[in-house]
Amino acid sequence: MKAVLILSLLDNSKTNIIMGNFYKLNKSLGKYRALRTNGIVNIGFYAEFSDNGMDQYNDGSFDANIYSDGELVDIEINGWTFSFHIEGRYHLPGSYKSTSFCIEAVDPEGTETSIYSTPYYSYYREGDVLCSYLDLIHMYSHFKNADVAQKFYQLLRSVEGKHVTWRSVDSDIIKPEIGIAQAEFFKEFYEKNVDICKDKFFLKQIREAVNNAVDAFQEGIESYKIS
């Protein structure tokens, strides 16, 4: 795992330390917000973010560590365990824009899983990456296991990537039939949980994902009409 602090030994007596940017992460109205700060405090979520730069093609990479109450420890939510470390890649606008990272987790049943970020076609900003990571892990922690979490990821990406995909790991799920099947699955999920789940923001995410899928693939079906 790459360290965020890069140590460069200049001689036997001096060490030059290059630090990333620090952020405080607060939750408001169901989503996280990132505020620039000067360091880490021992209460709440903080992060140190390092942009590793771009190549000549506007492709770049980044990594970050999220601190929980001042400690670099894995984040435990609803029986899930999520890594405190994030690594990802981005592409700044030219012909397209993208931001991508992987969520490493262990579900309540002890199954290790990797879930990629959504949305993929998003403009790269440090604070947005950190907030997206925390928003996503809190959302996925509502599901009972990795299998259901992966189904919801497939629903989100099948809609977003219905025209084209640049992330090879998604090549098998950018299909209307997968999106329709997962929309049906989560419509039933929503109906079973709407009266017992206390997190209205989570239920809103499920409802919007299903409805967006229905709208997106309805347009796709209509495109086959003979005029």
- Segment 167-219, tens digit of pLDDT: 778 877 777 788 888 999 999 999 999 999 999 999 999 999 999 888 888 76
Query: What pLDDT is recorded for position 6?
Result: 29
Place of tokens 């189904």: 151
User: What is the per-residue pLDDT for 168?
Assistant: 77
Give pLDDT, residue 4. Answer: 37
Rounded CA gap, 136 and 157, in Å? 14
CB 86 within 8 A of CB 128: no
pLDDT of res. 165: 59
CA distance linking residue 202 with residue 7, whole number of Å: 41
Local mean pLDDT, 10-residue blocks, the chain (227 residues): 33 43 94 94 95 94 96 97 97 88 97 95 95 97 97 90 68 79 94 94 95 80 57
Token pair belonging to 71: 């400690």
Please name which of 213, 131, 128, 132 lies closest in space to residue 179, comparing C-alpha atoms: 213
Q: What is the structure's pLDDT at 226?
A: 59
pLDDT at 180: 87
Q: What is the predicted pLDDT for the residue at 16? A: 36
Sign of the alpha-carbon dihedral angle for 146, 81, 88, 113: negative
Q: Which pLDDT score, from 0 to 100, does residue 210 have?
A: 93
The upper half-sphere exposure of residue 177, i.e. CA atoms within 13 Å in the direction of its Cβ, equals 1
The pLDDT of residue 223 is 56
